A and B are shown apart, each in its own frame.
Chain A
Amino acid sequence: MTSTTTTVPSAGPVAGSRSFLSRLREGDEIARVITFLFAASVVLVTLLLVFELWQGSVLPRHKFGFNFFRTSVWDPIFDQFGALPFIFGTTVTAGVALLIAVPLGIGAAIFLAELAPARLSDTLEFFIDLLAAVPSVIYGLLGVFIVVPLMREYIQPGLKNTLGFLPLFQGPAYGVGFLTAGVVLAIMVIPYIISVSREVLLSVPRDQREAALSLGATRWESTWKVVVPFARTGIFGSIFLALARALGETMAVTMVIGNTPTISASLFSPGYSIAAVIANEFTEATGDLYLQSLIELGLVLFLLTFILNGLARLLILLTSQRGSEMSHV
Chain B
Amino acid sequence: MKRIAGILLVALALAGILWADTALSINGAGATFPYPMYSKWFDEYHRKNPNIQINYQSIGSGGGIKQVTEGTVDFGATDGPMNDEQLKAFQEKHGSGILHFPTVLGAVVPTYNIPGVEASLNFTPEALAGIFLGKITKWNDPAITDANKGIKLPANEIVVVHRAESSGTTYVWTDYLSKVSDEWKTKVGKGAAVNWPVGLGAKGNEAVTGTVKNTPNSVGYVELIYAEANKIPYGSVKNAAGVFVKASLAAVSAAAADAAKEMPEDFRVSITNVPGKSAYPISSFTWLLIPEKFSDAAKRDAIKGFVKWMLADGQTYAENLSYAKLPKEVVAMELKAIEKIQ
Contacts and interface: CB of A to CB of B under 8 A. Distances in A.
Interface of A: 73-78, 80, 144, 148-149, 152, 172, 174-176, 254-255, 258-260, 270, 272, 280-281, 283-286
Interface stretch (B41-49, B122-130, B184-192, B273-281): B184-192
30 contacts: A75-B194, A76-B194, A77-B189, A77-B193, A77-B194, A78-B189, A144-B210, A144-B214, A172-B157, A174-B200, A174-B215, A175-B214, A175-B215, A254-B164, A258-B200, A258-B201, A259-B200, A280-B165, A280-B201, A281-B165, A281-B166, A283-B60, A283-B62, A283-B165, A284-B66, A284-B167, A285-B62, A285-B166, A286-B86, A286-B192
A270 B200 contact: yes
B202 A259 contact: yes
In the A-B complex, list the 8 residue pairs whose CB atoms are closest, starting with the nearest: A259-B201, A284-B62, A75-B195, A259-B164, A77-B189, A284-B166, A280-B165, A284-B60
Contacts of A270: 200-201
A318 to B, nearest CB: 40
B62 A77 contact: no
A272 B162 CA distance: 14
B194 A174 contact: no
Given A280-B165, A281-B165, A260 B191 contact: no
Interface in B159-202: 159, 164-167, 188-196, 199-202
B338 interface: no
B192 A280 contact: no
Interface of B: 59-63, 65-66, 86, 157, 159, 164-167, 188-196, 199-203, 207, 210-211, 214-215
A189 to B, nearest CB: 23
Nearest to A152: B215
Contacts of A283: 59-60, 62-63, 165
Contacts of B164: 254, 259, 280
A74 B195 contact: yes
B203 A280 contact: yes
Contacts of A77: 188-191, 193-195
Contacts of A176: 200, 211
Contacts of A148: 214
Contacts of A254: 164, 203
Task: Identify the interface centre among A73, A152, A254: most chain B CB within 10 Å of its CB.
Answer: A254
Nearest to A172: B157
A270 to B, nearest CB: 5
A284 B63 contact: yes
Contacts of B159: 172, 174
A259 B195 contact: no
B132 to A, nearest CB: 13
Contacts of A80: 195
Given A174-B215, A285-B62, A259 B166 contact: no
A42 to B, nearest CB: 32
A229 B188 CA distance: 56
Contact of A260 (B65, B201, B207, B215): B201
A269 to B, nearest CB: 10
Nearest to A283: B63
Given A258-B201, A270-B201, A281-B165, 15 more contacts: A74-B195, A76-B166, A76-B193, A144-B214, A172-B159, A174-B215, A254-B164, A254-B203, A259-B201, A284-B62, A284-B66, A284-B193, A285-B62, A286-B65, A286-B86
A284 B192 CA distance: 9
Given A174-B159, A280-B201, A76 B191 contact: yes
Contacts of A78: 189, 195
A293 B124 CA distance: 37
Given A284-B167, A286-B62, A73 B214 contact: no
A76 B211 CA distance: 24
Nearest to B218: A174
Nearest to A73: B195
Nearest to A78: B189
A172 B218 CA distance: 13
Contacts of B196: 260
B154 to A, nearest CB: 14
Contacts of B199: 260
Nearest to A261: B195
Contacts of A281: 165-166, 193
A26 B189 CA distance: 72
Contacts of B210: 144
Nearest to B69: A286
B133 to A, nearest CB: 15
A176 B199 CA distance: 11
Task: Identify the interface centre among A78, A80, A259: most chain B CB within 10 Å of its CB.
Answer: A259
Contacts of B192: 284, 286
Nearest to B191: A77
A129 to B, nearest CB: 30
